[in-house]
Amino acid sequence: MQISFKKYHGAGNDFVMINNLDGEYNTLSKEQIAFICHRNFGVGADGLMLLNKAEGYDFGMRYFNSDGGEAEMCGNGGRCIVRFAIDEKLCTADKQIHFIAADGSHEAIVLQDDIRIKMIDIESGIRFEDGMLINTGVPHFVQFMDHIDNIDIKVEGRKKRWDNRFGPEGANINFIKENSAGNLNIRTYERGVEDETLACGTGCVATALVYSTLFENVISPVKLQAKGGRISVFFRNDAEKFFDVWLQGPAQFVFEGKIEI
């Protein structure tokens, strides 16, 4: 079977996009998806997304990690699939866009090179002595540190990723350093990729919300510098949850092609 695809990245977090409006690729297996995402034998990507029909929405988003496992949401991927949908002429950049993923409905606004997507409402996280766990569509553990540049993310991230505190599926791990008020550096180990990624949208959201919980006088937006680029998180909150949460950053086309599986 030959599959046509386009590849995009959001701050270095890269994805294979497949137009699945006719449902032709609903039966892609975990092994096939992992092959497409493989950086030596396939296209190479942190994840794969199917753009589906969705009644009442501009489109539906189905997301898979590079190991072929399906996940509820991907923030950088959400921005990229919006760009893909515009390129596929399913919607236009001059109007608000509505799509649905496994974690619920989302809105998107195009701002020149950036895209801003609205995330789901998010409940307050669970505090631990060494950090905080919060679910932003997928679970993220956020740990603030003085020095993150010299950390071996693959080693340290993997240790925490399978921590018993996070349940049998584990969690994504984010190591954070504050540069100045409202400006953070972030490095993320992503489960499903099982490695460091150049950026993680849901991880940036998790970090911004944890930051506002643990530190006083944090003002929205929080700006984060990932290895692949800068991302901003806007939010409001009350005593129980965060709402009106928006993730903003780049979403750029890389190339298109065909692959035989």
Helix (H, G, I), strand (E, B) or coil at 160: helix
- The residues facing 250 across adjacent strands are 114
Per-residue pLDDT at 112: 84
Residue 96: what pLDDT?
96
The DSSP code for 221 is P
What's the pLDDT at 48? 98
**How confident is the model over 169-188, as pLDDT tens digits?**
999 999 999 999 999 999 99
State the DSSP code for 193. Answer: T
Q: What is the pLDDT of residues 107-135, one digit of tens each?
A: 999 998 899 999 999 999 999 999 999 99
According to DSSP, the β-strands at 97-101 and 59-65 are parallel
pLDDT in tens, 37-84: 999 999 999 999 999 999 999 999 999 999 999 999 999 999 999 999
- From 3.30.830.10, 3.30.70.1020, 3.40.50.300, 3.10.310.10, which CATH number describes the 2-119+251-260 domain? 3.10.310.10
Q: State residue 113's pLDDT score.
A: 85
Q: Rounded distance, CA 150 to CA 205, Å? A: 23
The residues assigned a catalytic role are 74, 200
Per-domain boundaries in the chain: 2-119+251-260, 122-248
Nearest to 9 by CA among 239, 247, 229: 229
Q: Output the pTM of the full model.
A: 0.95
The answer to whether the CB of 78 falls within 8 A of the CB of 101 is yes
State yes or no: pLDDT of 26 exceeds 90: yes
Read off the DSSP letter of residue 1.
-
Query: Is the fold of 2-119+251-260 the same as that of 122-248?
Result: yes
Is 122-248 assigned to CATH 3.10.310.10?
A: yes
| pLDDT bracket for residue 8 (50, 70, 90) | very high
